[in-house]
Amino acid sequence: MRLTPSGGADRIDGRARDAGGDVMLRARVRAAPEDGKANAALEKLIAKAFGTAKTNVSVVRGGAARLKTLEIAGASDAEVAAFIASFEEKS
């Protein structure tokens, strides 16, 4: 997941690929990157889009970085892959 804090809106911008070719989602949130506010906003955004409680989504890696790894409790790998695939790829 690539996050843009203070991005002017809370939205998922689509899929992208990193330099190694791995697929990730790109998102932006209005919250500033201070005191975990941007991470909390991202967790809420992903939970709403995935259709789960916000307590089921957590940033597990990259708390202070733009690139983050999220965990969605109770979601299978296939469900997460289908969720990511549902977004348009953008460069």
Give the model's pLDDT for residue 90: 75
For the stretch 8-67, pLDDT in tens is 999 999 999 989 999 999 999 999 999 999 999 999 999 999 999 999 999 999 999 999
Long-range pairs of 32-35 with CB within 8 A, sequence gap ≥ 24: 32/5, 32/6, 33/5, 33/6, 33/64
- Cα 37 from chain centre: 14
Whole-model pTM? 0.93
Give the model's pLDDT for residue 91: 63
Positive or negative, the CA dihedral 50, 54, 59, 63 is: positive
pLDDT band at 89 (very low <50, low <70, confident <90, very high): confident
